């Protein structure tokens, strides 16, 4: 099969389209013909060698944390984790992979039953790839860690990005009042996602404009994190994903600080896909590249110029 692979840590130039053996079918899993795969900042950091302590990958490595495709073979013990029935050839599925495993930037991938979920008929392969890992991260932050409930005031940083755009939609679906920060060029886009209030960070200081919020969901860190404490009410919560370094000032401001710990439990992906099936969330697709141009996709993600949705590789 064709796959993107890197044999050593380094820049996007290390990514090459190569021929590798097809992955073996797992007894409790399926073989998937990949149609689309997401390209996340984490994929770039792993490839650069910046996360070796957290993710000691075995080189050569195929990148890609998530994707979509069609089941072309099923092992004797294969099944969907919660539905209880057996995958059928031709089933459209969404899958996740760990950074330490061979990923989705390939024509084929083998996944276990705990790593696949049905892709709703109203979600395209490209949309599913944009939705999978980003949706998992947004759901964990908003629903599982913060437990957002009706009437809460929520501020989401990075509202135009892959995770932020889905966090806005999930928080709105759960009945919250949602404010979001983004660059002014993306203000109308973020408002269209359902944000009740948009603060363009290149024109306005969110820490001066907002106050008395129940939750800040911080996808940025650094100075943004430090200034976010001023927005919260006493007893509020600051939930963050690892990006720029943070300093926990919760005790000083009388708020709780929690890291959204990302896992790949398939029930979380199923919850996000169920919302997409109902139309409660829409996948936000950024630029789409063919598989052979994976290096260009990585360059775009690293450039900081991509600020809307998830970059996706179209495999077939």
C-beta separation of 3 from 103 below 8 A: no
- Token pair, residue 48, equals 């650069």
Q: Tokens 């509020």: give the residue.
A: 236
Alpha-carbon distance values, 73 to 29, 84, 89 (Å): 9, 17, 6
Q: What percent of the chain has pLDDT above 90?
A: 86
Q: What percent of the chain has pLDDT above 70?
A: 99
Average pLDDT score over the chain: 94
Q: Give the tens place of pLDDT for each residue, 293-304.
A: 999 999 999 987
Q: Give the tens place of pLDDT for each residue, 20-71.
A: 999 999 999 999 999 999 999 999 999 999 888 888 999 999 999 999 999 9
3-class SS letters over the chain:
CEEEEECCCCCHHHCEEEECCCCCCCCCEEEEEEEEEEECHHHHHHHHCCCCCCCCCCCCECCCCEEEEEEEEECCCCCCCCCCCCCCCCCEEEEECCCCCCCCCECEEEEEHHHEEECCCCCCHHHHHHHHHHHHHHHHHHHHHCCCCCCCEEEECCCCEHHHHHHHHHHHHCCCEEEEEECHHHHHHHHHCCCCEEEECCCCCHHHHCCCEEEEEECCCHHHHHHHHHHEEEEEEEEECCCCCCCCCHHHHCCEEEECCCCCCHHHHHHHHHHHHHCCCCCCEEEEEEHHHHHHHHHHHHHCCCCCEEEEEECC
Average pLDDT over residues 224-230: 95
134-259: what CATH class?
Answer: alpha beta
CATH fold for the domain made of 2-123+283-314: Quinone Oxidoreductase; Chain A, domain 1 (3.90.180)
Cα 256 to Cα 148: distance, rounded to the nearest angstrom? 14
- Whether cis (ω within 30° of 0) applies to the bond prior to 60 is yes
Residue 149 confidence (pLDDT) above 90? yes
Check if 2-123+283-314 and 134-259 are the same fold: no
Average pLDDT over residues 152-178: 97
Instruction: Name the nearest CA neighbour of 230 among 201, 196, 255, 259.
Output: 255
Average pLDDT over residues 286-291: 96
Average pLDDT over residues 80-89: 84
C-beta separation of 260 from 157 below 8 A: no
Average pLDDT over residues 191-212: 96
Prediction pTM value:
0.93
Instruction: Sketch the domain layout of the chain as residue ranges.
Output: 2-123+283-314, 134-259
């Amino acid at each position: 099969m064709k796959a993107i692979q890197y044999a050593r840590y380094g820049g996007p130039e290390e990514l090459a389209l190569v021929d590798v053996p097809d992955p073996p079918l797992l007894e409790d899993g399926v073989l998937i013909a990949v149609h689309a795969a997401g390209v996340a900042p984490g994929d770039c950091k792993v490839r650069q060698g910046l996360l070796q302590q957290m993710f000691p990958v075995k080189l050569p490595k195929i990148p890609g944390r998530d994707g979509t495709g069609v089941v072309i073979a099923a092992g004797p013990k294969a099944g969907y984790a919660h539905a209880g029935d057996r995958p059928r050839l031709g089933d459209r599925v969404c899958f996740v992979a760990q950074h330490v495993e061979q990923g989705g930037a390939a024509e084929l991938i083998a996944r276990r039953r705990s790593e696949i979920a049905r892709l709703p008929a109203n979600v395209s392969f490209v949309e599913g790839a944009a939705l999978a890992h980003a949706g998992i991260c947004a759901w964990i932050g908003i629903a599982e860690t913060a437990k957002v409930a009706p009437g809460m005031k929520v501020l989401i940083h990075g509202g135009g990005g892959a995770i932020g755009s889905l966090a806005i939609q999930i928080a709105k679906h759960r009945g919250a009042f949602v404010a979001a920060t983004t660059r002014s060029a993306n203000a109308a886009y973020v408002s269209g996602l359902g944000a009740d209030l948009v603060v363009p960070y290149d024109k306005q200081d969110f820490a001066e404009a907002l106050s008395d919020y129940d939750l800040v969901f911080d996808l940025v860190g650094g100075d943004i994190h430090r200034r976010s404490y001023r927005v919260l009410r006493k007893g509020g919560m600051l939930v963050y994903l690892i990006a720029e370094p943070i300093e926990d000032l919760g005790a000083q401001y009388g708020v709780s600080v929690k890291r959204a710990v990302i896992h790949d439990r398939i029930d979380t992906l199923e919850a996000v896909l169920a919302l997409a099936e109902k139309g409660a969330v829409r996948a936000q697709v950024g630029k789409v590249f063919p598989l052979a141009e994976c290096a260009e996709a990585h360059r775009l993600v690293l450039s900081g110029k991509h600020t809307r949705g998830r970059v996706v590789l179209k495999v077939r």
